[in-house]
Structure 1
Amino acid sequence: MFTQFKNIDTAFKHIKTFSLFLIIACVLVSGFAIYKSFDMVSTNNAKVYILANGKAIEAFSAERKDNIGVEIRDHVKMFHHWFFTLDPDEKVIQRNMLLALNLADQSAKKSYDNLKEQGYFTNLISANISQEIAVDSVELNLDVYPYYFKCFATQQLVRSTSTVVRRLVTQGYLRNVSRSDNNPHGFLIQRWETLENSDVVKP
């Protein structure tokens, strides 16, 4: 009889030990599952998707210094695009100039005023000339602030009877400003000037 009680006591101890290990294992598995769930939610919340042409594209964050060269080049290209892409339409000219002048300081405004006083835009409208520009390259010096740039571009003046190709070289400096809808890169071109604007001689 005592042997039977002893066996029951031993079996109870085994069941107690097994139950304890089972509880510990369940707690560990549950804790790991909860941790991974929170980690997965945090990771997904950190992702940003951009909708472009009906497709969701994942965007990755980075320090501005990692992309500053790319941002400056695009800023310079967009400024030159708006400033030099013109059609024989006064409203188009005013709209493009407004967009360009949001990206630069008074040096660009001064160039615009000079062209206006010289009747440049009036001549474009009266002669039905469209002006287009393609930026070939932008040289940068990011070692010194404000950042220096030199822009090399090809300009086309399209008339009904002919097309004139011109070589355009400009330079200037960029300083940091607050980002906005009108200035998404957060740069302002200053001390902008045209170094060369000459007809390309065809061979």
Structure 2
Amino acid sequence: MGFCIYKSYDIVDRAQNRIHILYNGKVLEAIASDRKSNLPVQLRDHIKTFHQYFFTLSPDDRAIQANISKALYLADESAKKQYDNLRESGYYNNLISANVSQDIEVDSVRLDIDQYPYTFTCYATQKLVRASSTATRKLVTQGQVRDLKAQTDNNPHGFLVQGWEVLSNQDTDPKTLQR
């Protein structure tokens, strides 16, 4: 009798972790997983998304504001301070007046998920594209990620980058690459 009760609970538990989806007239089975099993993947994607919003800029004030606004939903006041410093130094105005596009490719993210808040170091490559040339820079940042325990439309992973700082942002080649 004990075995039957155990087995019935096991079957019910497995059934609750399955979802059937009807797609184009076909039934597909999806298996639910807990958040912990996908934690490193979700953390890396959150960090990558934050960096892409913060550093991918076009020479348009509205586009810059839109990207920065999205980035600031994913981070705390440390990112806001970085943004304010760049704005006060005239960085964004220089991008617009020089017609420079800035793009970023996150190369890798090193995570430590053994301690909370989760610490990270992000390695990325920036490209600053001008009409006459392209400059490539290596970017290294670090910070921590805190779990907010709630997801929103503006923060779908439910994490918050905190204590974020730029460690290095250097040209890869001292001379500008000509097109």
**Coarse TM-score class (shorter-chain normalised):** 0.7 to 0.9
Work out the CA distance in 1 between the residues paired with 2:144 and 2:100.
31
Q: Does 1:112 align with 2:112?
A: no
> Tell me, which stretches of 5 or more residues in structure 2 are unaligned?
1-10
In structure 2, what is the equivalent of residue 192 of structure 1?
Answer: 164
Residue from 169, 173, 176 that aligns with 1:201: 173
Number of paired residues?
160
Alignment of 1:27-46 (within 5 A): 46=18
Matched to 1:189, the amino acid is V
TM-score relative to the length of structure 1: 0.73
Relative to structure 1, is the Cα distance of residues 50 and 148 closer, same or farther in structure 2, using a 3 angstrom cutoff? farther
In structure 2, what is the equivalent of residue 77 of structure 1?
Answer: 48
Work out the CA distance in 2 between the residues paired with 1:76 and 1:48.
31
More RCO (CA 8 Å, sep 6+): 2
Instruction: Describe the superposition over 1:129-164 as per-residue Cα deviations: whole angstroms up to 9, x where unpaired.
Output: 000000000000000000000000000000000000
In structure 2, what is the equivalent of residue 123 of structure 1?
Answer: 94
Relative to structure 1, is the Cα distance of residues 132 and 63 closer, same or farther in structure 2, using a 3 angstrom cutoff? same
Residue from 163, 179, 203 that aligns with 2:151: 179
In structure 2, what is the equivalent of residue 62 of structure 1?
Answer: 33
Matched to 1:179, the amino acid is Q
Whether the 8 Å CA contact 2:18–2:30 is kept in 1: the answer is no
RMSD of aligned alpha carbons? 2.4
> Tell me, which stretches of 5 or more residues in structure 1 are unaligned?
1-38
1:60: Cα distance to partner?
Answer: 2.4
TM-score relative to the length of structure 2: 0.83
Whether the 8 Å CA contact 1:50–1:59 is kept in 2: the answer is no
1:50: Cα distance to partner?
Answer: 8.9
1:61: Cα distance to partner?
Answer: 1.1
% same residue: 55
Secondary structure of the residue aligned to 1:66 is: helix
- Point out the structure with max Rg over C-alpha: 1
Matched to 1:194, the amino acid is V
Matched to 1:188, the amino acid is L
Moved over 2 A (4+): 43-46, 48-51, 55-60
Whether the 8 Å CA contact 2:18–2:32 is kept in 1: the answer is no
Work out the CA distance in 2 between the residues paired with 1:153 and 1:56.
41
Matched to 2:153, the amino acid is D
Alignment of 1:82-97 (within 5 A): 82-97=53-68
Matched to 2:132, the amino acid is T
Residue from 7, 16, 19 that aligns with 1:47: 19
Secondary structure of the residue aligned to 1:47 is: strand
In structure 2, what is the equivalent of residue 144 of structure 1?
Answer: 115
Work out the CA distance in 2 between the residues paired with 1:161 and 1:57.
51
Whether the 8 Å CA contact 1:158–1:164 is kept in 2: the answer is yes
1:95: Cα distance to partner?
Answer: 0.3
Residue from 135, 145, 162 that aligns with 2:106: 135
1:85: Cα distance to partner?
Answer: 0.3
1:184: Cα distance to partner?
Answer: 0.5
